[in-house]
A and B are shown apart, each in its own frame.
Chain A
Amino acid sequence: SQTIHQWPATLVQPVGSPLSLECTVEGTSNPNLYWYRQAAGRGLQLLFYSVGIGQISSEVPQNLSASRPQDRQFILSSKKLLLSDSGFYLCAWTLNTGELFFGEGSRLTVL
């Protein structure tokens, strides 16, 4: 069966520091991969999606970036965090059925 893992689960970072969140999927090949962000009390905002290695589509302009160095690995990064980057970051995957499956989430607090 397929599983998805993301880490770290929780992190507190100062403004201006870098960020790296990692996500891996097991038990499937060539999944579509996604990064969503959920701000407190708000809906899910799609940040990036990827349909293959090295293929990244950005949905919103921001100081975040994403990379897909391997088929089942998706990384969210920032060189300098802003206060507004705080939120719950969710990695997800799908196999083109439309059904999206989420990782456990990474809660980021920028101080």
Chain B
Amino acid sequence: QKEVEQNSGPLSVPEGAIASLNCTYSDRVSQSFFWYRQYSGKSPELIMSIYSNGDKEDGRFTAQLNKASQYVSLLIRDSQPSDSATYLCAVNKNDYKLSFGAGTTVTVRA
């Protein structure tokens, strides 16, 4: 079982719609959770961090964490063509290492 699992996509959404990305993790002791955005050919960029159960909103992004279900999600509201990228879920067990999912590719159709 992989430590962090994501649907690879591609996830295609129309401009202005909500994109919903899901991530599950295997280790129950995981404490910190992150979403990164990676444009093609570029390095990953941190867009959201979440540490406790519930929702965390930052602009058009909302991260949701459910530790009991070992599930973290990212919602992108009012999707824009500039949101087209691969989104990486990452999990930290409070050691020095971050484990990444393989990423979900999102395409926003104009």
Chain A interface residues toward B at CB < 8 A: 32, 34, 36, 42-44, 46, 49, 51, 57, 59, 90, 94, 98-105, 107
Contacts and interface: CB of A to CB of B under 8 A. Distances in A.
B103 A43 contact: yes
A51 B96 CA distance: 8
Contacts of B43: 90, 102-105
A105 B101 contact: no
B44 A98 contact: no
4 cross-chain pairs, A with B, having the tightest CB-CB distances, nearest first: A43-B102, A98-B32, A102-B43, A44-B100
Interface residues of B, number: 22
B45 A102 contact: yes
B49 interface: yes
B34 A98 contact: yes
Contacts of B88: 43-44
B102 A100 contact: no
B44 A99 contact: no
B61 to A, nearest CB: 15
A104 B44 CA distance: 9
B100 A43 contact: yes
B96 A100 contact: no
A51 to B, nearest CB: 6
A44 B44 contact: yes
